[in-house]
């Protein structure tokens, strides 16, 4: 093998299958996308509103516009990933997101320099565009696709471990971010995130690697793995013409819709529902504890059960959480939110990661995942604005719960019509 392929590490010389290293560092990459996830943005919403003097509806609208623009770029991210490789794309996204976090830490100075009016609107749209494209869009998409390319028959096991860690990380992230804000304030918290991302970029440079075939290895680390069959797959145009592709997109997208709207306005929801700070923190802690079990179960059994049941479990979790949001006046509503968030958070990774290579192969996984990620980002962009309208114009967040209940029932029915490909 030539030196270019070996740089910066010789993965073929590891005494064990390098895919397990990929699984770990890829998980770090997905966790690094937290500043660009809806809950990563929402933790700083009130601080940004205070600095910019924007209303909740205005900042939600700018978030929507910026995220929609970023979603338009995501299919090209998938193409760049397939063309230039995982290391270049991930390094660019990670360093870029770190720089944006650094700029945000000086938002008060930037706002004073801009003056106000249209300048603030453009600044906020550009900020939301950048963090959503680089964070939830690029970092999460590329890291997840990289892990899936290194496994075939053991894909469910690898995703069980990775998905559980991601589920736990995402679930406790709001609590960690709120603690950072409490201890250090929003400016220093942004700088801490920026430094953390720069540290992550070092890991990406040394340990990220493209497909095992590039290094003359086999998926799963076994010489008997069916490499040629895995690599053929479907093209993006072929995938777009299938029913499973769109139902997977809608289910995973709707997961992002609910959690995006809920976490973006978590402070306001807590005020309306009269939750204490401890109740807000505990909600995510309890959900995390349950989601660990759900993630392990969903990812392990995903290799053995029909895809429709994995998708149905995900939608069922959203339905339970939506009922909890709608029935706020009843004693059990809080626990409906906890259990519902835990179920769909745990089963989300199986729906988003395992099912794509099962239906469409690995050859064009970057492009296919890119379109799916576009749908997820668009849905997460729309949600905060819809939730805000329900609160400000209709009067309560319970109507957001009602909307989510109806959509969940429709998607649950649609998921049951998915048929697995012949293996």
Across 11-15, 104-108, 166-170, the highest mean pLDDT is recorded for: 104-108
Report how far residue 143's alpha carbon sits from residue 210's, in angstroms, rounded to the nearest whole number: 10
Least confident of 152-156, 217-221, 228-232, 405-409: 228-232
Residue 178, pLDDT > 50, answer yes
pLDDT in tens, 119-166: 889 999 999 999 989 987 899 888 988 888 888 777 778 877 887 788
Q: Which residues of 329-355 are buried (b: 16+ CB within 10 A; e: fewer)?
A: eeeebbebbbbbbbbbbbbbbbbbbbb
CA distances from 188 to 51, 124, 170, 184, 194 (A): 15, 19, 21, 6, 10
Instruction: Note the pTM of the prediction, 2 decimals.
Output: 0.75
Q: Give the pLDDT band of residue 407 (cuts 50, 70, 90).
A: very high
Determine the pLDDT at residue 8: 67
Own/partner pairs, 305-310, CB within 8 angstroms, 24+ separation: 306/418, 306/419, 306/420, 307/244, 307/355, 307/358, 307/359, 307/418, 307/420, 308/415, 308/416, 308/417, 308/418, 308/419, 308/420, 310/347, 310/350, 310/351, 310/354, 310/355
Q: Percent of the chain at pLDDT above 70? A: 92
Residue 357, pLDDT > 80, answer no
Report how far residue 64's alpha carbon sits from residue 217's, in angstroms, rounded to the nearest whole number: 43
Which contiguous run of DSSP H or E holds residue 377? helix 365-389
CA distances from 420 to 27, 302, 304, 311 (A): 27, 12, 11, 12
Determine the pLDDT at residue 233: 67
Q: What is the mean pLDDT of residues 215-221?
A: 78
Q: What is the mean pLDDT of residues 171-189?
A: 87
Residue 93, pLDDT > 90, answer yes
Determine the pLDDT at residue 223: 54
Q: For domain 15-212+223-415, give its CATH number from 3.50.50.60, 3.40.640.10, 1.20.1250.20, 3.10.105.10.
A: 1.20.1250.20
- Dig out the tokens for 114 from the structure: 């801009």
- Dig out the tokens for 327 from the structure: 């029935």
Report how far residue 5's alpha carbon sits from residue 11's, in angstroms, rounded to the nearest whole number: 9
**Selected residue with higher pLDDT from 81 and 197:** 197
Residue 92: which residues within 8 A CB-CB, separation 6 or more?
138
């Amino acid at each position: 093998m030539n030196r270019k392929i070996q740089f910066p590490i010789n993965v073929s010389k590891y005494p064990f299958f390098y895919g397990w290293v990929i699984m770990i560092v890829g998980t770090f990459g997905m966790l690094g996308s937290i500043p660009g996830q809806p809950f990563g943005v929402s933790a700083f919403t009130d601080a940004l509103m205070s600095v910019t003097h924007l209303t909740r509806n205005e900042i939600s609208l700018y978030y929507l516009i910026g995220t929609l623009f970023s979603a338009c770029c995501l299919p090209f991210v998938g193409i760049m990933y397939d063309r230039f490789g995982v290391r270049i794309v991930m390094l660019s996204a990670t360093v870029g997101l770190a720089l944006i976090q650094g700029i945000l830490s000086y938002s008060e100075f930037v706002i004073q320099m801009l003056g106000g009016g249209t300048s603030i609107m453009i600044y906020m749209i550009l900020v939301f565009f950048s963090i959503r494209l680089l964070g939830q869009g690029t970092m999460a998409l590329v890291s997840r696709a990289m892990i899936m390319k290194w496994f075939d028959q053991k894909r469910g096991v690898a995703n069980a471990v990775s998905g559980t860690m991601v589920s736990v990380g995402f679930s406790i992230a709001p609590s960690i971010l709120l603690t950072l804000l409490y201890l250090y304030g929003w400016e220093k918290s942004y700088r801490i995130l920026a430094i953390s991302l720069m540290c992550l970029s070092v890991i990406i440079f040394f340990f990220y690697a493209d497909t095992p075939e590039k290094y003359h290895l086999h998926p799963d680390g076994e010489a008997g793995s069916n490499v040629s069959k895995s690599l053929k797959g479907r093209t993006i145009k072929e995938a777009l013409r299938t029913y499973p592709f769109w139902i997977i997109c809608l289910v995973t997208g709707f997961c992002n819709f609910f959690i995006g709207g809920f976490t973006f306005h978590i402070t306001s929801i807590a005020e309306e529902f009269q939750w204490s700070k401890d109740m807000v923190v505990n909600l995510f802690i309890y959900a995390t504890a349950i989601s660990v079990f759900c993630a392990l179960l969903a990812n392990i059994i995903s290799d053995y059960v029909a895809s429709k049941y994995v998708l149905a479990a995900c939608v069922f979790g959203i339905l339970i959480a939506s009922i909890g949001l709608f029935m706020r006046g009843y004693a059990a509503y809080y626990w409906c939110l906890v259990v519902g968030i835990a179920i769909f958070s745990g089963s989300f990774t199986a729906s988003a990661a395992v099912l794509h290579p099962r239906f469409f192969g690995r050859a064009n996984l970057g492009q296919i995942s890119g379109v799916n990620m576009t749908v997820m980002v668009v849905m997460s962009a729309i949600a905060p604005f819809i939730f805000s309208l329900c609160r400000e114009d209709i009067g309560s967040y319970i109507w957001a719960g009602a909307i989510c209940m109806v959509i969940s029932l429709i998607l649950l029915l649609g998921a049951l019509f998915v048929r697995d490909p012949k293996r």
